[in-house]
Amino acid sequence: MPINIPAGVTVAMQDNVVTVKGPKGELSQAVDPSIVVTIEDGQVKFAIDENSDVDTKQKQAFHGLYRALVNNMVVGVSEGYKKEMELVGVGYRVENQGNLITFTLGYTHPILIQLPKEITVTTKMERNQNPYICLESADKQLLGMVCSKIRSFRMPEPYKGKGILYIGEQIRRKSGKSAGAK
């Protein structure tokens, strides 16, 4: 499947590195030599190099992987990615100063995390609402890694439903030990 290049986005290939520039930033990705990348007619196409020494299954895996990575880059620099999270729990708080986020999650100390400059963050705390974090970036991989790191500070737990959750995520709840005893 070829990737269509939207207006305002440029894709360049040099020395097995694909570089994508757009209104939201610039991203680059190294591509394995067993994959041939061609840019023509406003599309990026990927093909397997049959003459390379890599195993056939590995070539097929690389083909799909690099196509997906470059597609994520094209979407990221044109539209961007956004992840929304909420903190569920009594006394949980979040605030940011630029790209420095301070979490109060029931530990003896606040947790500080400095975000990369590629990510923009907004936090919101309103009365009778769960604290809210919104992270935006052009780089889908980096955004996912940062969200995973933030979530690891307080993983959602199944008994009370507390923790750091993605917006819209359903936690599978378990009954406590009193429900099973007879």
Q: Could you state, in order of their start, the residue ranges of all structural domains in the chain?
A: 3-78, 81-166
Rounded Cα distance between 63 and 49, Å, is 10
* Gap between the Cα atoms of 105 and 89, Å rounded: 8
Q: Does domain 81-166 have CATH number 3.90.930.12?
A: yes
The correct answer on CATH 1.20.58.220 for the domain covering 3-78 is no
pTM for this model (two decimals): 0.85
Spell out the per-residue pLDDT of the chain, length 182, in tens. 888 999 889 999 888 899 999 999 899 999 988 888 898 888 999 888 877 776 788 888 888 999 999 999 999 999 999 999 999 989 899 999 999 999 999 999 999 999 999 999 999 998 899 999 999 999 999 999 999 999 999 999 999 889 999 998 888 888 888 765 55
Q: Can you read off the two tokens belonging to residue 92? A: 């949980």
Q: Compute CA 13 distance to the chain's CA centroid, rounded to the nearest angstrom.
A: 24
CA atoms within 13 A on the CB side of 89: 23
Of 100, 111, 109, residue with least CA distance to 151: 111
Same fold, 3-78 and 81-166: yes
